[in-house]
Structure 1
Amino acid sequence: MEREDYTIGEWGLAINTELLNSLFQAKLAELRDLAVENNLPKTGNVEQLRAKLIATLVLNQFDFTDSGIHKMQNNDLTEVLGLFGVKKSGSKKAKMRRLWLHLNGDPKKLNVSTIGDMTREDLHALCITFDLPRSGNKNVLMGRVAGVLSSEENSWGKVKKSLRTGQKTLGANVGVPTGDPAPVTPVEVIVPPVIVESPPELVEEILDTPTQTTTPVTLDEGAGEALVRLESRKAELTSHLREFLLIGREQDEDDVSAFIEDLGRLGFGIEHEAVRGQILDELQQMIQLKQQEDSARSALPGSWREKQALRQLEDARSNLLDRLDEILENRGGEIAAARVDFENAALDAGLDLELAAISGRVHGLFDLQVSLRASETELDPVTARRHRAMETLYRRSHELSDEAMAQLGKIETQMEAFERVVETIVRRSEGEFGPTEHALLVRFLERRGWDPNQPEVRPRLLAAAGILAAEMGYVDAADIPSLPTSISLDAEKVSDVVDSMREILTEMGRAPPTIESVTSVEVTGQLETDRVKSKLDAADALLRKLNRGDN
């Protein structure tokens, strides 16, 4: 292979650019073969293997140990990161961290989502590597490491696409100073700016590449811990996102901003830009998941696993509905928490929520029940209380006479006026609804041409009035008059019953009892009682005599 070199740094080290470009464009199999040829381990993904080969075959003059990276100068770090094909702007400390991560880490295994599984010792070691404070418990260390990983997200672990595809290559003259070097002031965040000399071509590359001219993203104080807390509340956040997508407009920036502000009131750290960005990313992922769920719900099973999961869902549907009623009762208005509980209940039932067809149906079931409950609670309160009052009026109405039904119908047609009368009476009595108010209500209705004092109408009317007064908040529910629990008969109806009984006795061949016969029976019974009593007294006297004789 013909060697094309250029020098970097104040040491003037020669770099084989042709080999470097070939490594940028090589596939995984080619990189593994090259690693075997050079007695290097071929483990790791394509980017990890590429970074090892570049460090060993191209940049072998550098010391890439932890101490060696910390000893590098700022301009050397900039050029070395460029030769690895990753972002090279930022402060010196950020560059050192990025270089270490690119050489030693895997973005899929080392990120904000995975550091929660690390031990305190592992986090302590990362704090030493990243030059972070090392005091505090595991959560404190986790927050510090999360801050670094979040600020360096997408800045390491992957070579730029233009270098991988060959759209851009590092030429032999890149990095060779020609003429008077143009001073470039790199963007610094932590350390003061340092004036360095860079080749003109490198300056043009920096100016032409937008990703290298943007100011590096840094985390404000507390953002790392806020990200960790956000990750720990991911299930709750997912529930809130689903609620937003039910009625929210994800394309409306104002609507999304209002939703995020509501999350802030729930304790999510939206004052940090990193947290807001993470929430927006989760929202985009949830939008895609909802689309998959919607399409899967209307499609036939696409696999045997999905078919079996759907069958299991149908078997568990009734139990899930019962469990959902309990969850909604216990959680009250906390819909997000109720959704999380329902997801856990579905998991306990053995449902495979990783399938879009199952998760979509489970959450659709939850949304349907919540909507039904919301419809019930959104009923007009005025209509609701009048409806309950009329239910009381017409309870067991099949037992009522036509006259009573006519009076109840009059009350129903003039329910609004009846409600105003009840409200006026209760307000004047300062929340009392006792016998005095009952009598006042009846007299007032009588003066208006009603007949509320009928035995069948009065208790129903008073009970309905009590319900209206309680629903309007004037009296307690305990003060609502109750309907009679047994049938009330007036004197005329009692006489009718007695006459019917007499007729039955006559038909049976027995004489109906009269007042005289009842009186004679009572006299005869009294005489018999007196006779028995006298005999008992005589027996007592005899026993007393016998006792005295024994003594």
Structure 2
Amino acid sequence: MQLTDKQSLLSELHQARLDRLKEICAEHGLSRNGSVEVLRGRLIADLVLDEWDFSPEGIDSILNNDIGQVLAVFGVKKSGSIRERRQRLFLHLNHDAKQLTPEKLDTLSRDQLHELCSKLDLPRSGAKQALLMRVAGVLTSQSGSWGVIKKSLRRPRGEPKRINIPSPTDDYDSIASQVSAPVTEQVAQPSPVHTQEIEIMEDVEDVSEVEIIDIAPRSIVEPLPVAPVVELTESVIEIEGRTAEIDALCRDYLLVGSISDSEDVNAFISSLSSHGLPVNDSNAADFVKARLISLDAMARAEKEALHSMPNSWREREALRGFEEARNILREVLPEIITSTDGDMVKARMAFEEKARELNLDLRLPSVSGRLHALFDLQISLDEEIAASDPKTARRTRVIRLLQHGSIHLQAGERRTLDRLERNIDGFEQLVEAILQKSEGSYGDTQQTLVIRFLEKKGYDVNNSELRPRVVAAAGVIGAELGHISPSEIPRIAPGIKVSDTEVDSIISDLKRLAQQFKAVSDEPVADEEMELAESVADAADRVSSVRSRIDGVDDLLARLNISNN
């Protein structure tokens, strides 16, 4: 077929719908089974890129310079490292993106996962769970990069863009012949072929590595962590029985943590020992890390599924079942949280178990994502309600007052405060009873009653450190409940401690300052006396002047009287 004919055929294949693709398959005697993208990729490989070998071995022999152009012909993403592009090409040509998803990998057997790892150039050792994690990591990193062609090729605006159709180079032919050579020799001489095949494959790998170093562009996006290899040991078998608890703990970590932060992940895994999990073994830690990577991929899929339409009939029916059970789940969730005494990990596990009892398929990301979103929403609502509750606000203020600066106290005193904090409800009842009996008076008598009653209950609070705190906390409770006014709350001393020598030095400094102020105050007194004398003299002058004027007026009036007579 001429190159121009291939160009027109490629443009037609990019824009063709399913019926037209099936017609082209029938014309050329190709299989018509598969989705529209599977048929499109098959036709492009057989009719347009017919000179290339797209078997798994042939894909591994494509050089870095050529594989980008090959991916462009198929209409998928062409950037990335040589390994990522080979994985993408294999997935696009051999699998359906809607069928091979991370959440559906659990239905595959270990042999199938082992074969996928072999084709995707992944480690092939370990249990089924380890293989599943590796394949899920590749599918997550390649999500959206294969299985569907670009929209600009499928529905172009105006004239379709001309795509260069590459042809195999001499280097590709030589490498392909080297890769296929051991297969021929293996039939004739079975025993020595194994060693010779390893040497040839190493040569091919060297060539590809040179291509990567010299040509491959650097990716600015950090790759996702790959699940480690997990060997089946006693500790792994032990924690496998507690997978549900591990998943709940991992989901709690993923709310704020990231799998790319290795220090944070290691700290999280180390903290699991407090839950009775034997994570001291490296294989057990790798098992937890693999579950963490898997749940991170599932969480990403759940977020995407929350805002997308169902992709299958089974998913649509599962979502309908979830919506029918939503009210039941919402009603039982507060009871579950209460029954677990606020332990969110146990509450999440119990909530998942309740969902399974309602026959909800939690293997689907769209269902599990909505379930955990409902759980997180209820937790956030409970926190908001608790923050706006007056009782909670009052107790928070009292506890802060009791624990203020407690780091500087003795260990026994801190234990007493912690015990009092745990029994804050009883402390409030005690204070309220005393204030009701005293009719709103909170003096020395009531304060003594509070301290003595706590001492009878085993609280060692009658000392210089704890007594002011307890008395002030009781005053806060009384003011909050309306028994006393806020001005009657006892104040806590600032707690500044000085030694005897420091007291003497402070007194001497105060005396020195007093002498300085006394010496300075003599001059202002003298000045004030002078000003007073001057003001008195001025006043006398003004009085004399006024008197003289009055005398002048009297003389004038006397003269007027004489003239009238």
Q: Structure with the greater relative contact order (CA < 8 A, sep ≥ 6): 1 or 2?
A: 2
- The TM-score with structure 2 as length reference comes to 0.48
More helix by share: 2
